[in-house]
Amino acid sequence: MDTAALLCAALLIDAAMGEPRWLWSRLPHPAVLMGRAIHWCDLRVNRGRARLLRGALALAGLCTLALLIGGALSALGPVVEALAAAILLAQRSLVQHVAAVGDALRLSLNDGRRAVARIVGRDTAALDGPGVARAAIESAAENLSDGVVAPAFWFLVGGLPGMALYKMVNTADSMIGYRTPRHERFGKPAARLDDLMNWIPARLTALILAALGRGLGDWPAITAEARRHRSPNAGWPEAALARGLDVALSGPRAYHGEMKDFPWVHPQGRRDPGPAAIDGACGFLWRVWAVLLAASAALALIG
């Protein structure tokens, strides 16, 4: 079965089923298994000298494992491959988590803070209503690229092994790719490879969002702001979605009690977004999913 056709099936399965609790309450999710493997490497390998080399070797082993498992599952046939790909996509679960923040914020500010704390790493205890909404929208933009567009892209490039490889690298970056005393050197190979593997998907996500929003006339401004962003990739979908919703994103925020004076993204946009803006972000998530589905169907027909 054609890879693009398999991606169509995977996108539809994920949109219909998401992350069924009845299944993942009984079995460990593949992302959880990846996390356990990465944690094992962190405990056993991240010690002593030459931590940069140790991190590179650990990452190479994890990537090899992902490629082998992805290849083995692909050999079981197209049904298994499509189901496995659907599990590694995060469209429906992303929409559900982002929408839950809007629903909670409608109830109270404290409910909104608790909901957004589940999907962002910043301090949320002192966020006001617009701060909660901005955090949810920024998470939607970044995770649309990391959790939907990038896995789909790497599935088209390398089938299920390519998708599994990407998910392993992205999970490793989220766990050890930090500039902390413990992970500065050991996690650097994971962080750099994640940056590389997300380079095209992040810009592709921004391109789709811009085309669906106010059009590509804002592309020069999106490019300029993305290049000033603290992340080499996250700024692209964030800048595009900010313009699609006409809200200002990013800006100063606190991490672990320390304020960071980050520049605003689309500073001329509204700075008082609320639940309606979060709903708008969820609408964009589904429209991007529809573009991916249509593009995959077109590729399948051409193939």
User: What's the pLDDT tens digit per position in 274-300?
Assistant: 999 999 999 999 999 999 999 999 999
Q: What is the pLDDT of residue 130?
A: 95
Confidence of residue 1 (pLDDT cuts 50, 70, 90): low
Confidence of residue 10 (pLDDT cuts 50, 70, 90): very high
Helices vs. strands in the chain: H and E counts, helices first: 14, 4
Q: Residue 120 pLDDT more than 70?
A: yes
Confidence of residue 215 (pLDDT cuts 50, 70, 90): confident
Q: Distance between CA 248 and CA 134 in Å, rounded?
A: 8
| Sequence-ordered alpha helix ranges (H) in 108-180 | 109-117, 129-144, 150-176
Q: In this predicted model, which residue has the larger pLDDT, 303 or 74? A: 74
By the 10 Å C-beta count (0-12 exposed, 13-18 middle, 19+ buried), 303 is classed as: exposed
Domain housing 45: 3-302
Q: Give the pTM.
A: 0.95
Total domain count for the chain?
A: 1
CA distances from 191 to 99, 105, 179, 228 (A): 29, 33, 10, 19
Residues sharing a CB contact under 8 Å with residue 19, sequence separation 6 or more, in sequence order: 29, 92, 93
Confidence of residue 117 (pLDDT cuts 50, 70, 90): very high
Q: What is the pLDDT of residue 105?
A: 97
Q: What is the pLDDT of residue 251?
A: 81
Q: What is the pLDDT of residue 157?
A: 97
Q: Residue 252 pLDDT more than 80?
A: no
Mean per-residue pLDDT of the chain: 94
Q: Residue 4 pLDDT more than 70?
A: yes
At 129-179, the pLDDT tens digits run 999 999 999 999 999 999 999 999 999 999 999 999 999 999 999 999 998
% of the chain exceeding 90 in pLDDT: 87
Confidence of residue 126 (pLDDT cuts 50, 70, 90): confident
Confidence of residue 262 (pLDDT cuts 50, 70, 90): confident
Q: Residue 236 pLDDT more than 70?
A: yes
CA distances from 261 to 135, 229, 232, 254, 264 (A): 15, 12, 17, 9, 9
Mean pLDDT of 193-222: 95
Most confident of 187-201, 244-258, 259-273: 187-201
At 35-81, the pLDDT tens digits run 999 999 999 999 999 999 999 999 999 999 999 999 999 999 999 99
Q: Residue 257 pLDDT more than 80?
A: no
Q: Is the Cβ–Cβ distance between 167 and 194 less than 8 Å? A: no
Confidence of residue 261 (pLDDT cuts 50, 70, 90): confident
Mean pLDDT of 209-215: 91
Q: Residue 254 pLDDT more than 70?
A: no
